[in-house]
Amino acid sequence: MKYLNPFVLALALSLFIFTACQTTRVSVLEQSPDFELASYNSFGFFVSDAEGELSENYEQHIEYLKGEITQHMEARGLSKQAEGAELKI
């Protein structure tokens, strides 16, 4: 039986480790020149109506994201409103 070259094996393992741990980059591709967050006093969230095969932790992930967004928006002076929010996310 022929074994893999140790160098090739180490290279493949290194490549796997570095790509598996790579962070995801989020880029804003298009930004409206007239958008000013400071012109809004309140924000709210759209109701999610996702259907189909959802992961078992889908709702937990959505609530986590909403919590993080809420924290950052409130730090910028906006208040969260369930109804009648000026900015919907």
Note whether 2 and 41 are within 8 A (CB): no
**Number of residues that make up the chain:** 89
Amino acid 32: pLDDT: 80
Task: Please write the tens of the pLDDT for every residue from 24-46.
Answer: 676 766 778 888 888 999 999 99
Query: Per-domain residue ranges for the chain?
Result: 38-89
As given in the structure block, the two tokens for residue 3 are 């074994």
Q: How confident is the model at residue 3 (pLDDT cuts 50, 70, 90)?
A: low
How far apart, in whole angstroms, are the C-alpha atoms of residue 48 and residue 33?
Answer: 28
Please state, in angstroms and rounded to a whole number, the distance separating the CA atoms of residues 69 and 74. 8
Of 14-18, 27-31, 54-58, the range with the highest mean pLDDT is: 54-58
Say what the pLDDT of residue 81 is. 95
